[in-house]
Amino acid sequence: MAFPPADSQAQANSNEIHEEPGGAGISQALVQRAAEWGLVVKSESGRDQNTVTVGLMSAGEGSASSVERGAESTRTSGESVPRVSQELKDALSTLQQTFVVSDATRPDCPIMYASAGFFGMTGYSAKEVIGRNCRFLQGPDTDKAELAKIREAVRTGKSYCGRLLNYKKDGTPFWNLLTVTPIRDDSGKVIKYIGMQVEVSKYTEGLNDKTLRPNALPVSLIRYDARQKEKALSSMTEVVQTVKHPRAHPQAQDHEFTVKLDDQKFSVESPLQNSADPKYFKSPGRLTPLMDLKRNSSRISRKSGRSSLMGFGGRKQSSVERNETAKEPEILMTKDVERTESWEHTEREKEIRQGIDLATTLERIEKNFVITDPRLPDNPIIYASDSFLELTEYSREEILGRNCRFLQGPDTDQGTVAKIRDAIREQRQITVQLINYTKSGKKFWNLFHLQPMRDQKGELQYFIGVQLDGSDHVEPLRNRLSEKTEMQSTKIVKTTAENVDEAVRELPDANLRPEDLWAIHSQPVYPRPHKKSNSSWLAIEKITRQGELISLKHFRPIRPLGCGDTGSVHLVELQGTGELFAMKAMDKSVMLNRNKVHRACIEREIYSLLDHPFLPTLYTSFQTTTHVCLITDFCPGGELFALLDRQPMKFLKEEAARFYAAEVVIGLEYLHCLGIIYRDLKPENILLQKDGHVVLTDFDLSFLTSCKPQVIKPSLPSRRKRSRDNFHPIFFAEPSTQSNSFVGTEEYIAPEIIAGGGHSSAIDWWALGILLYEMLYGRTPFRGKNRQKTFSNILHKDLTFPSSIPVSLAARQLIHALLQRHPANRLGSNTGANEIKQHPFFRDINWPLIRCMAPPELEVPLQLIGKEAESNANDIQMDDEEMLIQTLEGL
């Protein structure tokens, strides 16, 4: 961190602490303890020999290299050395992150605590760090523009996340992903800053992020800073909560789940408690004692401070409960859930449940490969897998934009290299064996496969180069792999190349012109059959029939409806018509920097396919210089999340939960029939229409593939009376292709997404189970104190049902069936929505007439969003992109 400089005054004597140890000489423990606080222990002449003085360390007592590079980072001497309480220190010492805590109440924001990881990463000792500003990490090539951003963030009390070049004590430069977050007291005053560091030298594109192609787009196919910032911000959450609430942080951390989630093996264990355990044998009709209301009352949402009194048990029995006759099996019995980190209100407060996009399918292919672009001079590398970096020992910054020749060495057979050149010139695939070299000069036997990739027009787009290290399988006499090994290895590299070819097609062509990236948003939108006569379409068509292209100027902003990580949604009125719409405006530059261009284009394509009462209608889309905009239905009922939040107990009665879940099932069934895997089901993405029915929205994380509808004839039982009513053919349509992107909303992500083995539409049925649980219990079942713990819970934690909230056996059975960790065992995986519709929980639902049903009564009824404009939105007309930006920022 680089904080604004401040004047300092020398008052060393006033900061001395005198101690009289019981034994002779200076205790080594005392010296070490003092050093941790940035103090020095000295014996003073003229005093008793057992008396020592603990005083401030002078700047001269640090290392020479520290003084040379950090002349401005000398310890603040006008104040006593900043200290943290032992309680806070003990809590912080359990964290694995690399970070410092600075005192914002003192001049120059001196460091008051540094983690062990910080000392290990930088090479500095505690006595060289505590009491100083972090400027000693700066060096000659540290970007001054980034430093200015940090100073401005500190000056204004805001957060910062960025990458800058820092220097270790021995002078070694390294790329530091720095995240700075202010900590405020109850009055809102900033009292501390947390600066978390992550060394990203191996995987960042480094200075290559400023290297542009002729089309002004980056050379690198993926913008890695966005990926690393996403992970860093998640990791920072735990540090912030520990600083704010040290008592709530456990002193012993569970390190079984590491940050590198891709190494996590998928487990298919049952999510239920072991039924053999005597503590789970409870009689069906008996509830366990009520939980401590005060201690367990908070259900913290990422969008509000909503709380849920989990000890409340005063709901009326549902019809399903009244009709239950079967004995309740022990494994589905409720239990009195003790206080856990997922319920602790101090752990993760008032966060917004944003969808996360941690990796594309391409980035999750754990093989050694590169992608090159032959349309650029010298066919440079534009993508390199993490596994390739590990194999070759190079960093990503060192190889992006270069030709693969750097792997050659003295013993590389030039005849084989010539064959590769010929294949490149002739645009054909080839598989060869040759000796290559790592960065340190180590030889490895490389089974190399080159495969061209062509675009839809058949023109050469990229080359895919797959490497397989066969060093351990070379036959000395043949000086090559055995025939059997070669055959098996060739199959592996060719399969990898095919997987890469398929995965990279999800991304936009790196050679497109910037204006072509967003071309789909300028395409016309035509009305679909079921809504083409409604008033909204008639108003839109009145303008288009006159030959006008609908643009920003046709809409008047009224009020904001929500915001996301790439843009915002606003209520707008079509000028002169009184017709209201929702306008989703997305910032082009943000989407470029965050690898979301293909997500925005897929969302636009999906919207154009929809024609269903429980899904939004796209009326038009357009782009400005800075934004792309989608105009869709306005749902005055707002989010289901907000409706849940307004209920006194923050959950719904079972009849209401059944109604909303049933409509979600219908919506998902329609999406799957179109080949769409939703991938982001959650209450925030379920909007409520004026009549109380649902609309599923937000498709920026969805996956669009093909779908082959099937009609399955059920097998008829023999020797039984056959009833025609029970044996109708089943229409079954589920997306046919799998994806492996790491996307979704943290608490709703299915196990197979985390495990990285590929996922299908079954992930939507998992999310349905989480949604039903949240509607009935007021919280999600696997939420942890941080993202890593949440993912660990999803993979391993037992599914439990709090006894303090009565929920029918049928509902718990449905949740249990939907939350099967192995997708093949999950309800909905075999014949899609048909299995779920037939579950006893939904037996009172008349599926064909569900949209004619009256929504259930709620304790707090649905509140409609009015047309009243915000005070600063009156008379605003968004006639250009500059006005759009000002409007979006001002409302």
Binding positions for ATP:
584
Amino acid found at 225:
D
CA distance readout (Å), 743 to 211, 228, 530, 671, 821: 28, 15, 32, 18, 17
Q: Which ranges constitute the DSSP H helices of 283-440?
A: 319-323, 386-392, 396-399, 414-426
Please report which residue ranges of 326-413 form alpha helices under DSSP H: 386-392, 396-399
Q: Is 252 helix (H, G, I), strand (E, B) or coil?
A: coil
Annotate 665-697 with DSSP letters as a single string.
HHHHHHHHHTTEE----SGGGEEE-TTS-EEE-
β-bridge mates for residue 182, sequence order = 193
CA distance 506 to 222: 12
Q: Are 137 and 164 in contact (CB under 8 A)?
A: no
Sheet of 17-19: strand order equals 17-19, 52-56, 39-43
How many angstroms separate the Cα of 727 from the Cα of each of 475, 651, 669?
Answer: 62, 37, 20
From the candidates 680, 698, 700, 764, give the one annotated as an active-site residue.
680
Task: Return d(Cα 695, Cα 638) in angstroms, integer.
Answer: 10
CA distance 144 to 200: 19
Contacts of 605 (CB under 8 A, 6+ apart): 520, 704
Look-up of token digits 């009513």: 725
The radius of gyration of the chain's CA atoms, rounded to the nearest angstrom, is 31
Distance CA 361, CA 724 (A): 45
Distance CA 457, CA 123 (A): 55
Pull the structure tokens for residue 799.
């599914």
Question: To which H or E segment does residue 154 belong?
Answer: helix 144-156
Q: Where are the alpha helices (DSSP H) in 513-653?
A: 514-517, 535-544, 588-593, 597-609, 640-646
Residue 833's alpha-carbon distances to 17, 283, 664, 707, in angstroms, are 72, 33, 10, 15
How far is 681 from 741, CA to CA, in rounded Å? 16
Altogether, the residues listed in the chain come to a count of 891
How crowded is residue 548: how many other Cβ atoms within 10 Å of its Cβ? 11
Parallel, antiparallel or unpaired: strands 703-704 and 480-481? unpaired
Which residue(s) pair with 580 in the sheet? 573
CA 811 – CA 813 distance, rounded (Å): 5
Hey, which residues does 335 pair with through a beta bridge?
802
d(CA 847, CA 538): 31
The question of whether 411 is a catalytic residue gets the answer no
CA pair distance 402, 172, nearest whole angstrom? 24
- C-alpha closest to that of 441 among 465, 408, 398: 408
Distances (CA, A) of 707 to 36, 100, 116, 618, 677: 62, 52, 53, 22, 11
β partners of residue 174? 166
Task: Give the DSSP H/E element, type plus range, for residue 593.
Answer: helix 588-593
**CA 794 to CA 759: how far, in whole Å?**
15
How many helical (H) and strand (E) elements, i.e. helices and strands, does the chain have? 24, 28
Nearest residue to 97 via CA among 217, 240, 226 = 240
As a whole number of angstroms, the distance between CA 450 and CA 429 comes to 5
The C-alpha atoms of residue 654 and residue 658 are separated, in whole angstroms, by 6
Catalytic residues: 680
